[in-house]
Chains A and B, each alone.
Chain A
Amino acid sequence: MNRNIKDTIVEGITGVSVLLIIFIIVSILAVTIVGGWPNLNWAFLSEFPKDGMTKGGIFPAIVGTAVMTIIMAVAAVPFGVITAIYLAEYANEKSIIARTIRFAVKTLAVVPSIIFGLFGLGFFIGFIGKNMDGLLNGGELRWGQPNILWASFTMALLTLPVVIVSVEEAIRTIPREMREASLALGATKWQTIRKVVLPGSVSGILTGTILAVSRGAGEVAPILFTGAAYFLSDLPHSLSDQFMSLGYHIYIMSTQSSNVDATLPIQFATTLVLLLLTFSLNAIAVILRYRIRKKAK
């Protein structure tokens, strides 16, 4: 075959693939915006569902998602930052411990999210929660059932790799000269990390946090068994309460509702809210990361 024809074919295939991807993204956005935008208004964002969830708003799902991601971030970020500090500053790259941690982080990142849900159910609810009830409540059921705390912790496990990778990357961009300057002044290693390395990694820690929050806000599977509720007439008041979440709300609207057609506008609008939320969080993360890379050069 003529070399020119081969080139043309390859160029054609790559071009079509790109167009296909763009087409998919644009279709998702177009369908969501067209279906969701007319239903998006203040009442929708600030009211509880009404009439068997065929009318009204998604206020409790927004609050539930927000609270769950906050608790998740509070649990995942410090844990992730500490792990990243260990990997970047203390671990010998070739040591078995460092390699095991890296392997664990990579594995954690590819575990299907439903597995995290099952793990949360077994570990947090079945093991920790049950034992807490036994010790604190004389066996009365309070922590040994799905709630917002266990759901947040389960989600924290899912998002931990995101935090670790972002923070480690940021820590590694701190030039060696900065560490040497600090050590040469008689700073200990920990003082150097605390006063030079971590302040310089703030935007990386922020990026990791935002990526984790945006991932956690959209996931459904991990909270399916661990705390998300079908419908609640009230907001959660304590960590042992269940909660409503945006992603789960879309799922039940489209599969469990008595009148799926009636909920269609709500589904579209909820999807639009969730997409706007995760897109804007990701956009912030991208901008922050771009800034870090620019600073590193």
Chain B
Amino acid sequence: MNDIKVKVKDLSLRYGTNLALKNISMDIPEKKVTAFIGPSGCGKSTFLRTLNRMNDLIDNVTIDGEVYIDDINIYDKNIDVVNLRKKVGMIFQKSNPFAKSVYDNIAFGPRINGISQKSVLDEIVEHSLKQAAIWDEVKDRLFNSALSLSGGQQQRICIARSLAVNPEIILMDEPASALDPISTAKIEELIHELKLEYTIIIVTHNMQQAARTSDLTALFYMGDLVEMNRTEVIFSNPAKKQTEDYISGRFG
């Protein structure tokens, strides 16, 4: 199989005393799409947010275990979280463009990295928007507010914005759950194209979406990793009864 990009070892997470993730271990391959599925509150989003240390922002969270990205433990004391997050981009459930122009949204990341030369920024903006398959729709209104776009367009702006800082991994937290079917299809199409260059990890409620977009699927339930395997195996011949019950809609 492919190279392992992310290796998680015995990861547990507590909110106060409440154990939200229990000893999760998994390997996530490079330049593939890995989907996390499971019922609400199963820990899949929490787990996703441990991979770019977004949970650091929440008070009262304690994390045990290790997460290796390219063989470096991101929970090591001397890890620079800012650099980690440049390498591991994130797309949120609710599209969250800044109240700025399309151009300034995309240029935000490069600018905080100290790029100020206009020609360089222009190039990054165009390239990122093309990668996110939204260039043709916004090229004539780069300086209009990103908030004037439709929900689906906003989400692709957010994807372009995260591509502009050259990440290696992109975390997507239910990126299409607030979108209509046509916008959802566009996002899924985009995921197919992006996996040629990026390692993509997607949390989704929608099992068809997991089946359509991912190479691997992991099922979470009550903070446990129930089963992880190639997507076609999970959906056709799961090893555990619980997985079969979930994907056939008997619980969740």
Q: Measuring CB to CB, which residues of chain A are less than 8 angstroms from any residue of chain B?
A: 92, 175, 177-188, 191, 195-196, 199-200
Contact = CB atoms under 8 A, between A and B. Distances in A.
Contact of A186 (B59, B82, B97, B99): B82
Given A180-B57, A181-B158, A185-B165, A195 B89 contact: no
A177 B161 CA distance: 14
Given A180-B54, A180-B96, A195-B112, A186 B158 contact: no
B214 interface: no
A172 to B, nearest CB: 15
7 contacts: A177-B92, A180-B96, A181-B158, A184-B52, A184-B92, A186-B109, A187-B108
Given A178-B98, A181-B96, 14 more contacts: A92-B59, A177-B92, A177-B94, A181-B97, A181-B161, A184-B54, A185-B85, A185-B162, A185-B165, A186-B86, A186-B113, A186-B165, A187-B82, A188-B112
Contacts of A200: 99
Contacts of A188: 82, 112
Given A178-B98, A200-B99, A184 B112 contact: no
B83 interface: yes
Nearest to B162: A185
A187 B90 CA distance: 13
Contacts, number: 60
Interface size class, chain B: 20 to 34
Contact of B89 (A180, A182, A185, A191): A185
Interface string B155-181: 000100110010000000000000000
Contact of B161 (A183, A185, A199): A185
Nearest to B109: A185
B155 to A, nearest CB: 12
Contacts of A187: 82, 108-109, 112
A180 B90 CA distance: 9
B92 A183 contact: no
B80 to A, nearest CB: 10
Contacts of B59: 92
Given A177-B94, A188-B82, A183 B54 contact: yes
A273 B24 CA distance: 70
Contacts of A185: 85-86, 89, 108-109, 112, 161-162, 165
Contacts of B99: 199-200
B174 to A, nearest CB: 13
A195 B165 contact: no
Contact of B85 (A175, A177, A186, A195): A186
The 7 closest A-B pairs by CB, nearest first: A186-B86, A177-B96, A184-B90, A185-B109, A181-B96, A186-B85, A187-B112
Interface in B168-203: none
Interface string B134-165: 00000000000000000000000010011001
Contacts of B57: 179-180, 183
Nearest to A177: B96
Nearest to A194: B112
Contacts of B112: 185-188, 191, 195
A188 to B, nearest CB: 5
Contacts of A180: 54, 57, 90, 92, 96
Contacts of A195: 108, 112
A199 B108 CA distance: 13
Contacts of B113: 186
Contacts of B82: 186-188
Contacts of A183: 54, 57, 85
A147 to B, nearest CB: 43
A195 B104 CA distance: 11
Counting chain B CB atoms within 10 Å of each CB, which of A178, A181, A186, A199 scores highest?
A186
A132 to B, nearest CB: 42
A200 B113 CA distance: 21
Contacts of B85: 183-186
A200 B90 CA distance: 22
Contacts of B109: 185-187
Interface in B25-57: 52, 54, 57
A53 B113 CA distance: 63
Contact of B83 (A179, A186, A199): A186
A207 to B, nearest CB: 18
Interface string B69-110: 000000000000011011001101010111100000000110
Contacts of A175: 96
A97 to B, nearest CB: 16
Nearest to A94: B59
Contacts of B98: 178, 181-182, 196
A147 B90 CA distance: 56
Contacts of B96: 175, 177-178, 180-181
